Amino acid sequence: MITVAVGQLRPHIAQPQQALAAVERAARSASSTGADLLIVPETFLSGYAIGRAAAQRLAEPVDGEMASAVARIARRSSIAVVYGFAERGSDQKIYNAASFVSETGEHLAVHRKLHLFQSVDAEQFSPGHDRPPVVAWNGWNVGLAICYDIEFPETVRMLAEDGADLICTPTANMVGFEQVSRLIVPARAYESQLYIAYANYCGADETFSYAGTSVIASPTGDLCAAASPDAEEILTADLDRATLEEARRNLTYLTDRRLDLYGHGTAPG
C-alpha cells in the first residue's frame, strides 16, 4: 500500500519562487500525514495561462534550477513529488510538462502534454509526441498524464497497456468542466482498472476561474478522496494493491477488447 496526496492549490502566475514555497508547504503537510507521493497542478511552477512570452521566459530544461529546487524539497520532506512546469526542450521548443521526482530527489520521468487544450495551450506550447512514461516506484508502476490528456480514453489505455497502476495527473481544469472530475476521471480509472490522482487548481488568475474538485479515483470507479470547488486542500488516500488486483480479476475490459476491429494496440501482459 502507498499513500498518495493531491495538492489542490491556488495559482502563482509568473511567480516561480512563490510557487516553490507553496510546493514546499504542501510537501511538508502531506508528509506529516504519512503520504509517500504528492501531486500538484499543471505548470504549477510558472502558472498556467501566462501567455507565450512568459512561457518562453520561465521555461527551463527538465534538469534546470527549478527542478533542482523541487528535488531538494522532496528530500527535505521525504516525499516523492509530481509537478507541472514549462519545459524548454533541447530543440528549444516549449512544452507543457510534468516531472516525477523521488523522495530522494532522483528524477524518475518526464511527460510532455500530448493533447493541447484549445488556444490557451496551443499559443504557449508545442505538443509532446512520445508515449506517456510508466516507471517503477516503491513497488508500483506510476504513469504520468496532464489535464486534457486524461479526457482521452486512448491515453489511459496506453498507460494501462504499459502496466500503470496509478496515473498522476496535474491539471488546470476550469469552471464549467467539473464533469471531468465527477464523471470522466472515475470512468477512466474503472475502465482501465487503475488509480488516477487528479490535482487541480482552485481560485482564479487573470484569465480563468478554476474548478477545484480534485479527486483520487479507484479502479472500482469510486472516489477515494474529493476536494471542494474553491479551497486549497491536501487530499490523501491509501492505495491498496488488493483492490487493484480484485478489480483486474473482475473487470476484463482490457482483455476483452476487439483490437482486430477497432484500431491498433496491444493486449496487456
Look up 224 and say whether it is catalytic.
Answer: no
Q: What is the pLDDT of residue 266?
A: 56
Q: Answer yes or no: is pLDDT of 263 > 70.
A: no
Mean pLDDT (whole number) for 154-173: 97
Q: Is 123 a catalytic residue?
A: no
What pLDDT is attached to residue 262? Answer: 81
> Which pLDDT band holds residue 265 (cuts at 50, 70, 90)?
low
What residue type is assigned to position 161 of the chain? Answer: E
* Average pLDDT for 99-103: 98
Q: What is the pLDDT of residues 235-262, one digit of tens each?
A: 999 999 999 999 999 999 999 999 889 8
Residue 176: inside a domain: yes
Enclosing domain of residue 12: 2-256
**Measured between alpha carbons, how far is 81 from 161 in angstroms, rounded to an integer?**
24
Cα distances (Å, whole numbers) of residue 140 to 1, 59, 252? 9, 30, 20
Per-residue confidence (pLDDT) for residue 162, from 0 to 100: 97
Q: Residue 79 is part of a domain; what is its CATH number? A: 3.60.110.10
- Asked if residue 264 belongs to a domain, the reply is no
Does residue 268 belong to any structural domain of this protein?
no
Work out the number of other CB atoms within 10 angstroms of the CB of residue 63: 12
Question: What average pLDDT does the segment 12-41 reach?
Answer: 97
Q: Which of 24, 42, 103, 233 is catalytic?
A: 42
Residue 204: which pLDDT band, with cuts at 50, 70 and 90? very high
234 located within any domain:
yes
How many Å apart are CA 219 and CA 156, to the nearest integer?
12
Question: 148 lies in a domain?
Answer: yes
202 is an active site residue = no
| In a domain? residue 267 | no
User: What's the distance, CA 101 to chain centroid?
Assistant: 13
Give the torsion sign (CA, 24, 28, 31, 33): negative
- Choosing from 24, 103, 147, 168, which is the catalytic residue? 147
pTM above 0.75, yes or no: yes
Is residue 263 included in any domain, yes or no? no
**Mean pLDDT, residues 57-64 taken together:** 96
Average pLDDT over all residues of the chain: 96
Structural contact between residues 45 and 20, judged by C-beta atoms closer than 8 angstroms = yes
Q: What pLDDT does 101 receive?
A: 98
Alpha helices in 1-116 (DSSP H): 16-32, 52-58, 65-77
* C-alpha span between 198 and 189 (Å, rounded): 11
Look at residue 29 and tell me if it is in a domain.
Answer: yes
The cell numbers describing 225, all together, are 478522496
> Annotated catalytic residue: which of 60, 103, 113, 202?
113
167 residue type, one letter:
I
How many distinct structural domains can be found in the chain? 1
pLDDT in the model for residue 260? 87
Distance CA 159, CA 242 (A): 20
